[in-house]
Structure 1
């Protein structure tokens, strides 16, 4: 079992790795303990491995990078913790074969989330490691669902961005994050916008036996969020021309979406190279409704 140390560092390491699905040693170090030597993180992960809570694969790239993931036993332990209440252990990758098959996309998602966490630390904003929640299930009815690559919670320090101002003058921002590595065509990527528009308007049917006139009819997302989260598309896997093609496909798809959805939900896209070079808070985001402009994602407003 996880030993209780002074700072709960073992518990934090297991919780972060369970929620983030996969991470390299360096990514885990930057997430959970950037202020100490990386050797301490290596020892912590090795200890959790000897306890059967996590495992690793060695990637064939130069440097033989180690990629970590939780085992079924580790997932069982972590699933009992209240800080992981939004986490679905059934979607956890808990064996080496599955890890190798998913590692490219999963580590890119981890790198994206890490960029938000590090940028928040630098700016004095609040985005803790457990504020990045991959693969949150959102039902669309008839057995269909949309599962963003990640759900992001981010408290800015008084930007006035309009998503629920806290008592300290800051604003709580939420975003659905989609990381695309050019493994699907631009049209298939753009089709995701339609699914989010359906979620925006989806009202679940009343349970069987319920009198419809006694049931409050409201969109399902309102049970989770005070405002519908922004949509952030992070594009990887091609050069500038490929990025432009995918932004244009998103722009074309946005023209067909309901006006109410476009009014309520900021939809932004950027290249991962821009994200990693300048940081998520920089004005690197292209609104898909006006792709010739760039803005900071924290300054786009809900109505």
Structure 2
């Protein structure tokens, strides 16, 4: 199995504010609960996903000090199709941010999808006929990982509001290329825990009236 040569986020500084600490602890527990759901689902279905295949907060640079840092990066090998390797960026939302701010993450991942690092000063540029610079993510993944939003911390009405916000963001024509190449799915945590991540509990942001398994073909 290949591992991304990406640096992980430094451990956060001690949080003095008790409310912020409680929110972060709740978020960490939900991220862990989500990872365990994938681990248990793999064992039930004869697939392969181990604890170290759930990697927290991997840093993906965007240049100028900006970065995309998913809550988790998932590696998951299915027993079907000769053992296909699936990868996913996982974003866990506990309703601690507004729906619009959550939906704005689509734009961040679209930027990562298109991000090409600037040439390193002093390093010669590709000569005519040689390969041009390519997107940074291609150094780590053969395909851009799926993007999974796991929604919790609110009732059905709040989850519906967040799905509508994701759907509205997905209608932006500037994201059409990204969404054409990368599956973006959302699921309530309660459904994911009840049926398992491999069940058809995921809503494609472009077609929220459908429910599909997260590992569906692109």
Q: Normalized against structure 2, the TM-score is what? A: 0.89
Aligned equivalent of 1:74:
none
Name the structure 2 match of 1:173. 86
Task: Give the Å deviation of 1:145.
Answer: 0.4
User: RMSD over aligned Cα, in angstroms?
Assistant: 2.2
The secondary structure found in structure 2 opposite 1:210 is: coil
Is the Cα contact below 8 Å between 2:4 and 2:141 reproduced in 1? Answer: no
Alignment partners' CA distance in 2, 1:94 and 1:126:
34
The residue number in structure 1 matching 2:151 is 235
Higher RCO structure, 1 or 2 (CA under 8 Å, sep 6+): 2
Q: Aligned residues, how many?
A: 209
Aligned mate of 1:272, from 189, 192, 197: 189
Pairing 1:193–2:106 present: yes
Q: CA deviation at 1:94?
A: 8.4
Choose between structure 1 and 2: higher helix proportion: 1
Aligned match of 2:165: 249
Does the CA-based 8 Å contact 2:107-2:175 persist in structure 1? Answer: no
Matched, 1:112 2:34: yes
Note the 1:1-303 alignment, pairs <5 A: 88=8, 91-92=10-11, 101=21, 102-158=24-80, 160=81, 169-214=82-127, 216-256=132-172, 257-299=174-216, 301-302=217-218
Structure 2: gaps of 5 or more residues: none
Give SS of 1:212's match. Answer: coil
How far 1:142 sits from its partner (Å)? Answer: 1.2
User: How far apart are the structure 2 equivalents of 1:156 and 1:208?
Assistant: 42
Structure 1, unpaired ranges of 5+: 1-82, 161-168
- Cα distance in structure 1, aligned partners of 2:58 and 2:50: 17
SS of match in other structure, 2:126: helix
